[in-house]
Amino acid sequence: MLHRLATSGLLLLAGLVVAAQAKGPRTTIPEEKDRNRHEEFLKIAKAGGVDLLFVGDSITDGWRGGGKAVWDKAFGPFHPANFGIGGDRTEHVIWRMRNGELEGIQPKLVVLMIGTNNGDPAPDVALGIKTILQDIHERCPRAKVLLLGIFPRSEKPDGARMKNDEVNKLISKFQGALELGRVYYLDIGAKFLAADGTLPKDIMPDFLHPNEKGYQIWADAILEKVKQLMQEDSGKPLPSFSPPSAVAKIARIEETISAGKFDSGLKALEKLKEDKDPKTADAAKATLQVIETWKASVDAEIARLKEAGDVVLAADIASAMASTYTGDAAKPYQDQAAELKKDPTYSAGKEYQKLAARPAEQRKDPRFVKLVEAFLKKNPDGFYAKAAQALISAK
């Protein structure tokens, strides 16, 4: 026992020394914790084929336990992987991201929730989360991140829950920050709470970790957002309707739109917004507003990608939107895509895509390094230069 205590003390002291020597708070300094689990994740990454990646601590890890049945049903179709480890803090996730867990995969979407185990001040926890977002963006520049607010904990609001709420206010501002990539923030914490603000034991028995009922609430709260974020870059972009309209006629039209019949559904809604039945008319107008909001968000994403320098992805989304709309409504997107493809960096972006598509094993080949170096010689600056450099940078 004394030997174990002494060893633990030395490890803690070593960690404090490293933290003191590094710049920034402890929450931003990589720290190894669970090598065996990390090795498991490296094997998953090496195998590839991951489109949806969950990253976090024991709450995320729990999808393998009490949440497994819910996970399989809700997320199984999206080729998911779960990189959650019990007890992890922000510094542990940073270490994992920098030591190979993103090598070999290019997920379309990363769902991230971390921070409840950090006993640090809220600004430091938020800075740790920001560092993770930067690491993900550096290694997977085209991935989107669904950043979840830290879930509520403790039966009643206490210091720990209040601190997590403070962290959530800070990290909510990360959405839209160009240097962090394609971050979307969502706080679903209220869905776990009773009307009086208490955390029910039949959802989180220990007032921290969800049971199967809690994981079902989680899945239901994010599934539509996950579908939306994963579909916009491939195939035909379509709005999602969650919850569906309470008016059955309008709900059926929403289903038609979600199934890909956008033009006919839009025309039906335009007609029904003048319906004699006020409930039907109001419901049609509400659904049309959802579509307008969705369209505005896609337009903003195209503009953000263009400003960031990823003109290829911006052009891809514009082209996809041109296939969603028809006639005059499609022309602005067609013109936008054509203009983006004329950008001098577009050809560099297409070349970068070919490099990024190489599997992890090929990236270790010296010939791959030479290909990237040749690319950087032709394209020394800009978004694609930084992304290409990350392909060969030491993790």
Query: Which residues are identified as catalytic?
Result: 58, 206, 209
- Beta-bridge partner residues of 262: none
The amino acid at residue 142 is R
Residue 320 phi/psi, 5-degree rounding, is -65, -40
C-alpha distance from residue 221 to each of 121, 243, 335, 380 (Å):
28, 10, 36, 43
The first and second tokens of residue 374, run together, are 């040749």
b/e sequence 136-168, b meaning 16+ C-beta within 10 Å? bbbbbbbbbbbbbbbbbbbbeeeebbebbbbbb
Tell me, rounded to whole angstroms, the distance of Cα 366 from its chain centroid: 32
Rounded CA-CA distance 370/360 in Å is 15
Q: Are 290 and 239 in contact (CB under 8 A)?
A: yes
All residues at 6 or more sequence positions from 53 whose CB lies less than 8 Å from its CB, including other chains: 80, 81, 83, 105, 107, 109, 110, 111
Residue carrying structure tokens 């990539």:
181
Question: What are the respective helix, strand and coil percentages of the chain, to the nearest 5?
Answer: 60, 5, 30
Rounded CA-CA distance 319/209 in Å is 43
Q: DSSP for 144-169?
A: EEEEEPPPP-SSS--HHHHHHHHHHH
Rounded CA-CA distance 185/175 in Å is 6
b/e sequence 205-214, b meaning 16+ C-beta within 10 Å? eebbbbbebb
Rounded CA-CA distance 34/50 in Å is 22
All residues at 6 or more sequence positions from 314 whose CB lies less than 8 Å from its CB, including other chains: 302, 303, 305, 306, 340
Residue 152 phi/psi, 5-degree rounding, is -65, 150
All residues at 6 or more sequence positions from 135 whose CB lies less than 8 Å from its CB, including other chains: 94, 97, 98
